[in-house]
């Protein structure tokens, strides 16, 4: 029989612990949110302990992080422990690659052999290298079952992953950018209106998003509002967030008006707009369906912050100031030249 992979990821991002089970056959289940860093697992083993929040990482100081792996099955378990990076691929957290540059994570062991109903601790040493600048450093730890070799039977492989989100103390930059806001298709059914937000954390620290999307008709009537989930974004890692309207939208052209807030205190705000044609058949006047290339979508992105104006505004202000200085310099030169001419005329008289 073909081998089937069973992956279980338990991850906490932005204060929420989620358990997602993904099967190669395509099924996916999402568990109810639980307490931060709650122990969770499949039928074979569970992982308990770990950070109770973000890690404070003074440069050059080792911060211990302790986990307990519990074999809750009636058979021995052999596990591999791997240190990885942490980033997003769309909405999915991925535990691949290496930790952030400047972050060192070592485990007390890389393999475990647990008897039935036994448990063992795994201790991590997390350190921001000396001289690290203030900001966020990120990694992950993956506990992966090593299944026994078998022939002619289905192999089930379980894995659990935990993120390690560290902050080097000091002043940080929490800027961000709305990179795109659009409907994934030109035409949507009344119960399938979705706008995709692509956002980039351009600073050096993680934070959560907030805000709303108002759904407005061509006459200006508001038919609904979608809340932006408080998802966590990591520096330099674009994140695509689908914002779906859960109600039934009226037919015709609708505009999604995004009002977004971000930053460690949500002090930065921005707006964007996108349009979509709603049809009960999912097909537009020209026969285009939900899978067609979006048309008519546009982005009017405006960003405001409490710390200053949009960079383009500063550019115009700088150019205007330069022009004013040039005009003043020309006027002073003209005045001095006129005084010089007047003195020469008086001397000749």
Task: Locate 286 and state its tokens.
Answer: 């020209």
Category of 289 on φ-ψ map: left (φ > 0), alpha (ψ -120 to 50) or beta: beta
Which residues 6+ apart lie within 8 Å of 85 measured at CB?
95, 96, 97, 98, 99, 100, 138, 139, 140
Each residue's pLDDT expressed in tens, for the chain with a length of 349 residues:
333 333 333 333 433 333 332 222 222 222 222 223 233 444 589 999 999 899 999 999 999 999 999 998 899 999 999 999 999 988 888 999 999 999 999 999 999 999 999 999 999 999 999 999 999 999 999 999 987 766 655 555 689 999 999 999 999 999 999 999 999 999 999 999 999 999 999 999 999 999 999 999 999 999 999 999 999 999 999 999 999 999 999 999 999 999 999 999 999 999 999 999 999 876 555 444 333 333 333 444 544 444 433 444 556 677 888 888 899 988 998 888 888 888 888 887 6
Residue 154 is predicted with a pLDDT of 57
* Model confidence, pTM: 0.69
Residue 280 is predicted with a pLDDT of 85
Residue 214 is predicted with a pLDDT of 96
* Cβ atoms within 10 Å of 242's Cβ, excluding its own: 13
Residue 84 is predicted with a pLDDT of 97
Residue 304 is predicted with a pLDDT of 44
Residue 86 is predicted with a pLDDT of 96
Among the listed residues 54, 58, 269, the one whose alpha carbon sits nearest the alpha carbon of residue 174: 269
Q: Please say whether the beta carbons of 86 and 105 come within 8 A.
A: no
* Pairing label, strands 187-188, 268-278: parallel
Residue 284 is predicted with a pLDDT of 57
Tell me the CA distances in angstroms from 253 to 184, 289, 341, one per residue in order: 15, 15, 70
Residue 314 is predicted with a pLDDT of 55
Handedness of CA 146, 125, 120, 95 (dihedral sign): negative
């Amino acid at each position: 029989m073909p081998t089937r992979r069973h992956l279980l990821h338990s991850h906490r991002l932005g204060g929420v612990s989620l358990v997602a089970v993904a099967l190669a056959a395509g099924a996916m289940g999402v568990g109810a949110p639980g307490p931060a860093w709650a122990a969770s697992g499949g039928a074979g083993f569970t992982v308990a302990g770990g950070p109770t929040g973000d890690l404070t990482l003074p440069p050059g100081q080792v911060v211990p992080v302790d986990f307990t792996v519990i074999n809750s099955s009636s058979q021995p378990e052999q596990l591999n422990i791997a240190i990885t990076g942490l980033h997003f691929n769309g909405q999915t957290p991925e535990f691949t690659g290496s930790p952030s540059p400047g972050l060192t994570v070592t485990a007390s062991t890389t393999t475990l052999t647990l008897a039935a109903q036994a448990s063992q601790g795994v201790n991590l040493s997390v350190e921001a290298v000396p001289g690290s600048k203030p900001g966020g450093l990120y990694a992950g730890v993956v506990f992966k079952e090593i299944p026994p070799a078998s022939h002619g039977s289905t192999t089930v492989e379980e894995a659990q992953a935990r993120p390690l989100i560290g902050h080097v103390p000091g002043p940080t930059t929490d800027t961000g950018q709305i990179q795109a806001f659009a409907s994934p298709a030109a035409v949507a059914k009344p119960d399938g209106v979705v706008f995709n937000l692509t956002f980039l954390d351009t600073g050096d620290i993680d934070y959560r998003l907030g805000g709303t999307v108002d759904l407005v008709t061509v006459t200006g009537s508001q038919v609904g509002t979608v809340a932006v989930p408080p998802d966590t974004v990591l520096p330099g890692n674009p994140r695509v967030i689908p914002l779906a309207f859960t109600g039934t939208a009226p037919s015709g052209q609708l505009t999604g008006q995004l009002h977004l807030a971000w930053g460690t205190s949500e002090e930065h705000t921005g707006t964007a707009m996108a349009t979509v044609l709603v049809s009960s058949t999912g097909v537009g006047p020209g026969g285009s369906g939900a899978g067609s290339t979006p048309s008519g979508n546009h982005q009017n992105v405006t960003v405001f912050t409490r710390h200053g104006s949009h960079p383009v505004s500063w550019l115009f202000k700088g150019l205007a100031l330069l022009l004013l200085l040039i005009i003043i310099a020309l006027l002073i030169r003209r005045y001095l030249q006129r005084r010089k001419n007047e003195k020469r005329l008086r001397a000749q008289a």
